[in-house]
Structure 1
Amino acid sequence: MHAFLQRIAGGWAFLGGVLVIAIVLVTAVNVGAFLLDSLLKPMGIFVPGLPGYEDFVRLAISVAALSFFPYCQVRRGHVSVELFVQHFPPTLQNILDRMWLLCTVFVALFLGYWMIQGMLETRADHAMTSILGWDEWPWYIPGIISMALWALVCLIQTFERKTHG
């Protein structure tokens, strides 16, 4: 695997991790506000939750989840069925591994294509979040990048000499 691509996938996953931390922090603040509101409401003190919390979390989770796919692929952390295949000759294992890597390239590109279509449709519909009023279409871009990066990692792994083990 090319070190440059590994760094890109790692950096992309890191950004996804930062987004997960932001989701956790926003959720903690919102839960804290809910608890304070429950405790203080009998005294006539109201503590509102974060406006647009659901909007942010919905969009951020969609970005964060996909950002880990390329790094997972770099690390070969994806699910594989080795119990059955481990008894095959190494040559056949290698052929099957490369075949599934190519299939994964096409799956990632297929998903990326449909994400582009969804983004274009969302943009044409002027879809916005209900509370914050944010445009939704830009949130597709990181997912599209994730799918392209995932496909690229798989493609490079397909043509590496050693593809498993």
Structure 2
Amino acid sequence: MSETFRPEPGPEAGPLGAVVERAARLLAYAGGICLVFIVVLTCASIIGRAMLTLGLGLGPVPGDFELVEIAAGVGVFLFLPLCQLRRGHVTVDILSAWFGRRGVAVSDLVGNLLMSIAACVILWRLVAGLQDRLRSGEESFILGIPAWVGYALSLVGAVSFLLVCLYTLYRSWVETTSATPDLA
């Protein structure tokens, strides 16, 4: 099996890298809290439904679907920065052994440039969606939660995702310019 030259994810170097890593990790913890909230809420709602069928007077948690929808969307956006920082997005390494160190560094640079562009588009459309929800005054059906709340909370993750993408673009530039060409 051929050796690949893709750098392993690890602690980020330098003071900027340390700050970016710490922030991305904290956001991922917040995303984890969103997932735990979803699990607890879903279990409580299921137990409440079961108690209702047994005649014990409880019932499902009102608006559970609305809350799960918001928490899931926010959680996904909060996980994106750490995923990008740790090189967790899907890559195709089938040709990386042939590219050598410099080729892999260049392909990572191009990938991070494309991911930065995608993060810009995602942020742009999320802001447009937030503005639309603010104008419409739309609310959830059961709990009456303003629709813009999920967008606003997701914005934290989307902005952080873009900033981390720009950092990884810088990191890839440094890796590309410092990669030594492979000897034949």
TM-score norm. by structure 2 comes to 0.81
Q: In the alignment, which of 110, 116, 119 is matched to residue 105 of structure 1?
A: 116
Q: In the alignment, which of 149, 152, 160 is matched to residue 163 of structure 2?
A: 152
Q: Percent identity, please.
A: 25
1:38 maps onto 2:63 in alignment: no
Shift of 1:66: 1.5
Shift of 1:47: 2.6
1:25 maps onto 2:40 in alignment: yes
Q: In the alignment, which of 1, 4, 8 is matched to residue 23 of structure 2?
A: 8
Q: In the alignment, which of 134, 139, 142 is matched to residue 128 of structure 1?
A: 139
1:50 maps onto 2:61 in alignment: yes
Task: Note if contact 2:138-2:146 (Cα within 8 Å) is conserved in structure 1.
Answer: yes
1:75 maps onto 2:75 in alignment: no
CA distance in 2, matches of 1:143, 1:80: 25
Query: After TM superposition, what 4+ stretches of structure 1 lie above 6 angstroms from structure 2?
Result: none
Greater shift, 74-83 or 115-124, is seen at 74-83
CA RMSD of aligned residues (A): 1.4
Instruction: Give unpaired runs (5+ residues) of structure 2.
Output: 1-11, 177-184
Instruction: Give unpaired runs (5+ residues) of structure 1.
Output: none
Task: Note if contact 2:21-2:82 (Cα within 8 Å) is conserved in structure 1.
Answer: yes
Task: Note if contact 1:67-1:142 (Cα within 8 Å) is conserved in structure 2.
Answer: no
CA distance in 1, matches of 2:82, 2:63: 30
Partner SS, residue 83 of structure 1: coil
TM-score norm. by structure 1 comes to 0.90
Greater shift, 75-84 or 22-31, is seen at 75-84
Shift of 1:90: 1.7
Counterpart position of 2:4: none
Counterpart position of 2:181: none
CA distance in 1, matches of 2:65, 2:33: 18
